[in-house]
Amino acid sequence: MTRPTSRDVATAAGVSQATVSLVLGDKWRGRVSERTADHVRHTATELGYRPNLAARNLRLGSTRTALLVVPALTNEFFARVYTGAARIAARHGFGVVLYPSPDGTGPARDPFASARAALDGVIASSMAADTLHALATDTLPLVMLDSDPTAHTAAAHVNLAIADGMRQVTEHLLTHGHRRILHLASAVDSWTFTVRADALTALLGPHTELRTVRAPLTVDGARTATEAALAAPGARPTAIVCDDDILAAGACKAARRLGLRIPEDLSVTGFDDLALATAVEPELTTVRLPAEHVGEQGMTALLAVLEGTPWTADDIPVELVVRDSSGPAPTP
């Protein structure tokens, strides 16, 4: 059975091929009536018509393909970002290619060095601007997600209200009487973690004690760092603020190994609200980051840039989800 062509659709619908091209190319408004457009689309569906995307892209000088660069595929947050970006892309006839940077947040190698024409734009999630020189060119627009908004290499930025998330965590703990706080910070050098550290420091008053310990973004790395911090001389912290749910899971393991109860002896908070947050016991108090919405906004921003439309948007709100891993500070 031969594949139906646009001429077949035009013949069956009783319209010209030009009308079919306008309707199926979504350029019919103001040129074709809505009734005719509906009729053409219905006819195309009935015939099983599928456009020749390769020919159309060659004609338009566009592949309708975006590259999404992420630090890792093992983190659920980035999988959700991809889901959101792909959802918006599909609505506009775009595809999204997912590319994990071989060096994490370090310099991203160009996966299309010999085939740059295969892309219309790049979306980079949680990457430093100076790590993307291989991907950003004057002809290939770059949209950065959860990244430094002052980076001039990007055509658009989509950010979360990270500092406000840390504000919600801090106010929650201070309200519960915590005054000795351990910040289990990510050892990854990126804008989003710097914002968390700066916000926490700024929000704590003179009558609080803050100690910072860095750990790799693994459960075992976080457990080791937390065990050492809790066993150190001096008054033990009553709460641990973690940069990530993975770090929080490691902190909880360390507390249990040291015979500490959560939250009676030690409160623990995370950041992200991954599936892990409700898999641990007790379930984790954490900041929910709407990762899919970040991906949606990122793809929307790229589409706007490709159309020559200026992109501006407020930071995406985040929300503290209070569960059983946090509670009142223990009585001295």
Of the pLDDT bands very low, low, confident and very high (cuts 50, 70, 90), residue 103 is low
Res 51: pLDDT: 61
Helix axes 34-47, 17-24, angle to 10 degrees: 90
267-316 confidence digits (pLDDT tens):
999 999 999 999 999 999 999 999 999 999 999 999 999 888 888 899 99
Residue 187 has pLDDT above 80, yes or no: yes
Res 154: pLDDT: 86
Direct distance between the N- and C-terminal alpha carbons of the chain, in angstroms, rounded to an integer: 81
253-274 confidence digits (pLDDT tens):
999 999 999 999 999 999 999 9
Q: Regarding predicted confidence, which is higher, 218 or 51?
A: 218
* Residues facing 9 on adjacent strands: none
> How confident is the prediction for the chain on average, in pLDDT?
87
Residue 271's SS3 state is strand
Of the pLDDT bands very low, low, confident and very high (cuts 50, 70, 90), residue 183 is very high
The whole-model pTM stands at: 0.78
Q: Regarding predicted confidence, which is higher, 219 or 41?
A: 219
Res 104: pLDDT: 53
Q: Tell me the domain boundaries of the chain.
A: 6-51, 61-159+291-315, 162-289
161-175 confidence digits (pLDDT tens):
999 999 999 999 999
CA-to-CA distance for 249 and 240, rounded, in angstroms? 11
Closest C-alpha among 146, 22, 123 to residue 65:
123
139-157 confidence digits (pLDDT tens):
688 899 999 998 777 889 9
Q: How far is CA 67 from CA 7, 70, 77, 119, 243, in A?
A: 34, 10, 17, 7, 27
Pairing of strands 267-272, 285-288: parallel
Q: Are 241 and 200 in contact (CB under 8 A)?
A: yes
Q: Regarding predicted confidence, which is higher, 71 or 314?
A: 314
| Count helices and strands in the chain by DSSP H and E runs | 10, 11
Res 319: pLDDT: 98
Q: Regarding predicted confidence, which is higher, 141 or 115?
A: 141
- CATH fold for the domain made of 61-159+291-315: Rossmann fold (3.40.50)
Of the pLDDT bands very low, low, confident and very high (cuts 50, 70, 90), residue 202 is very high
| 61-159+291-315 shares the fold of 6-51 | no
Res 59: pLDDT: 40
Residue 116 has pLDDT above 60, yes or no: no
Report the chain's C-alpha Rg in angstroms: 25
Can you tell me the mean pLDDT for 43-69?
A: 68
Percent of the chain with pLDDT over 90: 60
Domain 6-51, CATH = 1.10.260.40
Q: Which of 47-56, 83-92, 98-107, 176-185 has the lowest mean pLDDT?
A: 47-56
Res 231: pLDDT: 93
- CATH fold for the domain made of 162-289: Rossmann fold (3.40.50)
Residue 62 has pLDDT above 70, yes or no: no
